[in-house]
Amino acid sequence: MVATSEVLAFVVSLGTLYSIYVILSSSMELVYGELGLPDFAKAAFFAVGAFAAGALSVRLGAALAGIAWEGEFKLRSYYYATLVSAKVAENPLMGLVIFVVPLLVAVPCAVLLGVLASYPALRLREDYLAITLIAFSEIVRVVARNYEPLVGGTFGAGVVDVFAWLRSPWRELAMMLTSALFAFGAWLLLYRLSRSPFGRVLRAVRDDEVAAAAYGVDVARVRAWAMALGSGMAAVAGVLYAFYIGSVNPDDFTVSRTFLVVLMVTVGGRGNPKSPPLGAAVYLALDRALLFAKRFLPVPFDVNYVAYAALGVLLILFVMKKPEGLAPERPLLTVDAEATEGVTSRT
């Protein structure tokens, strides 16, 4: 029999991960779904957030708590993370500072990188752009993997428990609620944007770039804006993810993470702002189901690959059989119903 507290812990943990994926897929929907720019560097912008938390939380915490640092970062970050967390347990304000500073650093960095990454989009066709962005994403990961002072290279980095001042399960619950709050904010931003005149411009560029330019749209600026917003959102998700996991490892941010998010948006329905919450739910449900099921699967290879194979098959099936996704895109209406009613009734 499973204890109630274990079920609660499972749900809370899943809720946090769900929130993080909603932020990521909202940012993917904005850039890929609405603007049609294959942002296959999403994992890198996600990583920027996580790396900011990994690089800063322990160092900042140690400085704030007056703990003198000894030894190499890669060998000692987990140890100091524990020490700083113990200090945070007595000082919630310190936890808040350690949480907010990586956010304040990561978001502008990701926004800047996003704007930079939007420039190849001017010269490259969609498929070449996708390849370029994948390469960009891998560069970010490989640099972090080899430059140990950043987040400890292959050792990874410990991350401070910013909610250490709460007792379990309140601690986990606080993490979930914080993530959920950010997720709701990110999704609301996406939803409002997609129904604003800006959303109309995004879709126009996606539908026909030349026509959009001929009708007054500065396509380069639209792309820069969308990539700035999308990348900033992904960085927020990355910071939350690092604090949720409690450590950061560069190899956690491979291109396959990008494609999980592409999967969510595709399954949910590209071009429909409902796709992020829907797609993230489908993905997590499936992922957890596979986690349970794979114990019972007699496969002649490492059973962990079953999930990859299944998700790959799902993506292919959707692209072939149901490319519009579970919630198909609808022609958008940026004006409220009364506005059009007034005019149409006179016709």
Helices 4-28, 219-245: inter-axial angle, 10-degree rounding: 160
Binders of another protein: how many residues, by CB under 8 A? Answer: 39
Q: Pick between residue 226 and residue 280 the one whose CB is nearest to another protein.
A: 226
247: which strand partners?
A: 158
Distance of CA 117 to the CA centre of its chain: 17
Of 156, 271, 276, 325, the one binding another protein by CB under 8 A: 271
Confirm or reject binding of residue 177 to another protein (CB under 8 A): no
Q: Pick between residue 4 and residue 344 the one whose CB is nearest to another protein.
A: 344
List Cβ neighbours of 306 (8 Å cut-off, separation of 6 or more): 290, 294, 297, 299
Confirm or reject binding of residue 323 to another protein (CB under 8 A): no
Structure tokens at 243: 């604090």
C-alpha count within 13 angstroms, C-beta hemisphere, residue 166 = 13
Confirm or reject binding of residue 340 to another protein (CB under 8 A): yes
Please report, as residue ranges, which positions from 186 to 245 form the binding site for another protein (by CB under 8 A). Answer: 192-193, 196-198, 200-201, 203-204, 206-208, 210-219, 221-222, 225, 229
Q: Pick between residue 86 and residue 335 the one whose CB is nearest to another protein.
A: 335
Phi, psi of 254 (to 5 degrees): -80, 175
Q: CA-CA distances (angstroms) from residue 222 to 35, 164, 228, 229? A: 9, 42, 10, 11
Confirm or reject binding of residue 293 to another protein (CB under 8 A): no
Confirm or reject binding of residue 122 to another protein (CB under 8 A): no
Q: Pick between residue 92 and residue 185 the one whose CB is nearest to another protein.
A: 185
Classify residue 255 by burial, with Cβ atoms within 10 Å: 0-12, 13-18, 19+.
Answer: middle
Confirm or reject binding of residue 121 to another protein (CB under 8 A): no
SS3 letters across 93-131? HHHHHHHHHHHHHHHHHHHHHHHHHHCHHHHCCHHHHHH
Please report, as residue ranges, which positions from 7 to 66 form the binding site for another protein (by CB under 8 A). Answer: none
| CA Rg value for the chain | 21
Confirm or reject binding of residue 3 to another protein (CB under 8 A): no
Q: Pick between residue 72 and residue 208 the one whose CB is nearest to another protein.
A: 208
Confirm or reject binding of residue 257 to another protein (CB under 8 A): no
In whole angstroms, how close is the CB of 120 to another protein at the nearest point? 18
Contact residues toward another protein (CB under 8 A) are 192-193, 196-198, 200-201, 203-204, 206-208, 210-219, 221-222, 225, 229, 271, 329, 331-336, 339-340, 343-344, 347
